[in-house]
Structure 1
Amino acid sequence: MKTTLLSTVLATACCAALVSTSVQAEKTLKLAHFVPPAHVLTGAIIEPLKDGVEEASGGDLQIDVYPGGELGAGPMEQYVRALQGVADITWGLAGYTSSQFERSMIVEMPGAIPEGMTGYDMLWNAYDEHLEREFPGTHPLALWVSEPNIFIMKDHDIRTPDDLDGLKMRVSGSMAAAMIARYGATPVQMPAGEMYNALQTGLIDGIVTGASAITDFKLDEVANSYTIGAPMGHIMFYLVMNQRSYDGLTDAQRTVLDEHSGRWLSRHGEEGWNALAERTLEAVAADSNNTVINLSDAEIAPFETIADAFRAERLSDSGTANILSSMRGE
């Protein structure tokens, strides 16, 4: 009787240990961002990551998403939230804290990305040697850039650099601010969520950003003129994970996460932004209330002259030409 009872107790204890180990192995990560669920971020980045990880791990690794600033509304504090562990994973724009990402934001310069290359490949090409130091305490899951920036205007048509003289233009970060100042405009740096009201009320005359933002932030309701083709660079994005959270995963969980992040996830992001931009520009052009200016090669040339000089001087002054070369795989 005692033997039977002891066997039962031992068997029960073993089962409990196995259940406990299984429960401990399961992990749920918190992913936070500051835009609505309908933003391109969801389809381009979050769903491929979340669905891929959860399916491949058989539910052992899960991701809960907190959109719209649920874990903190300030877009400029996104990186800090990951660093402090408020969320395990956060999404943000490098330009919002430009001083932290001076090397990474080289990819934002007009003319930095040569034809045939992608922004995400350039960022990962240079990451280990040049960019890792700009991501302390985190493990990047994706690094990518937007579609090319355009001019999104209210009651102003932009065909030449002179047309920008004295206008107040919203930009996302320091790189675009320096560029737009070279074109003769006054840069106004502000988060994307403030663009609509600023343009509607006349606080700004126009916006420098990618066409996907027209859809994501309903800018077509307040803008009426769009200029495409001027060299305005791109916007860089990151998706980062708290390093301690990453290190705390099991080997199997890390393997699954690695397989669904890095260049693979970055490609999804970049392609998603570009696809939305293409659809958006088609819709904008189809609206007879809009003026859509597709600059000719001759019209682009004066912008390009200024942009090329800006890029060369910026690289020379900062001593970072080697980083751009590394990004390009040269």
Structure 2
Amino acid sequence: MSFMKSAALAAVLGLTATASVAQEVTLRFQHFVSPNSANPKYFIEPWAKKVEADSNGRIKVQVVPFMQLGGKAPEQYDYVADGVIDGGWVIPGYQPGRFPEAEAMEMPFMTTKNAEEASIAAWEFTQKHLADDFADVHLIAAHMHGPGIVHKRAEEIKTVEDFDGLKLRGPSRAATMLLNKLGATPIGMPVPAFPEALSKGVVDGGVITWEMAPSLKLDDLADSHTDVAGDKAFYNLFFIWAMNKDVYEGLPDDLRAVIDANSGAATSAWAGRAHDLGDRDGRAVMEAAGNTLATISVEETARIQALGDEVVADWIEEANKAGLDGQLLIDDARALVAKSAGTARPLE
């Protein structure tokens, strides 16, 4: 056990000792976006309140936005694992190469455009293939966000050729691989830097979800928002909601049971659904601004998907060289996505 893990566990035990009979515990969870963003608004904060209610107030969940407890978003996994914080929202892909198997869920056109059902698949994929990868944290949920959209200045994307030469902010390794195939120049940058880069012409646009568009002021900074045809997402991101393992194991049995009851497939679906609600809200803001909301034709989408298939083939070869069974990972991801299709509830 690391020093920081020991300190975290001691802190929990100290709190429970002072509370004696009540054994009250405060858990500090951290995320890296605005509290008004979809996941915090529709999942993280409600999850925290439900845990508090289910524990009859014996667990207090403190949710802290914008990485205000320290570190940067790419460091979040280690902050949780080492006990600097009790739990947090993590994008494993922010550490390229560390969790390669998780990238199977992020391949172009892998998931449907419904984040709730894609997140059910993500949880099952995690249980089947990623338990060892995340063995040093306690997993609460694994989920996907909604479909990635191309947001840019000037007119919408209509053809594959329209990508040629565009400087586009790329959110993940898989999305960057696809943008390269399309002839665009991917520019890596954290989400908060995107609006300024777009306003100054450093980038022509970027690929990101509908839900994030309002908080990034894309109703003002972008002119067009383009999706691909069909029910599959242009790209997606894989997330986990996780807790420090020693802190979790140090909880009294009944409080650990509260965390367990708010973990797993249903909780993962809840986290995904938060993004579906956010996408609905964000799309409405872009539409109300009078921006162009476009969908690439079925024929051009097929051309993009063919390039996406090349990305998948390249990834399988790369995974095989790393000692993984790349084809098995892709096949299992696709099978789980197909299995979860149609399971989502209608949005309110």
Same fold (TM over 0.5): yes
**C-alpha displacement of 1:103:** 0.9
TM-score after normalising by structure 2: 0.83
- C-alpha distance in structure 2 between counterparts of 1:88 and 1:20, whole Å: 19
Counterparts of residues 1-330 of structure 1 (less than 5 Å): 21-23=20-22, 25-113=23-111, 118-229=117-228, 232-288=234-290, 290-318=291-319, 319-327=325-333, 328-329=335-336
Residues 129 and 115 (structure 1), Cα distance of their counterparts in 2 relative to 1, 3 Å cut: same
User: Do the aligned partners of residues 245 and 108 (structure 1) sit closer, same or farther apart at CA in structure 2, a change above 3 Å counting?
Assistant: same
Between the aligned partners of 1:67 and 1:20, the Cα distance in structure 2 is 27
- Contact 1:95–1:175 (8 Å) recurs in 2: no
SS of residue paired to 1:213: coil
Matched residues in 2 for 1:275 and 1:316: separation?
36
Q: Partners of 1:115 and 1:82 in 2: how far apart?
A: 30
The one-letter code sitting in structure 2 at the alignment partner of 1:248 is G
Q: Deviations over 1:220-264 (max 9, x none)?
A: 221111111165221222211111111111111111111112222
TM-align CA RMSD: 2.2
Runs of 4+ in structure 1 over 3 Å off: 114-117
Secondary structure at the counterpart of residue 134 of structure 1: coil
Q: Which has more radius of gyration?
A: 1
Q: Residue type of the partner of 1:270?
A: G
Give the superposition deviation at 1:85.
1.3
Tell me, what secondary structure is at the counterpart of 1:157?
A: coil
Task: Give the structure-1-normalised TM-score.
Answer: 0.87
What's the CA shift for 1:98? 2.4
Please state how far the C-alpha of 1:136 moved relative to its aligned partner: 3.9
Measured after TM superposition, the shift of residue 291 of structure 1 is 2.2
CA change 1:221–1:92 in 2 (3 A) is farther
Distance 1:133 1:21 in 2: 35
Identity across matched positions, percent = 28
Unpaired stretches in structure 2, ≥5 consecutive residues: 1-16, 320-324, 340-348
Per-residue displacement from partner, 1:98-139 (whole Å, max 9, x unpaired)? 222221121111222268882222222222331122224211
The runs of 5 or more residues in structure 1 that have no matched partner are: 1-17
Q: Deviations over 1:203-230 (max 9, x none)?
A: 1111111111102322222111111116
Displacement of 1:155 after TM fit? 2.3
Q: 1:40, 1:216 within 8 Å by CA — same for their partners in 2?
A: no
Deviation at 1:19, TM superposition (A): 8.0
CA distance in 2, matches of 1:125, 1:262: 9
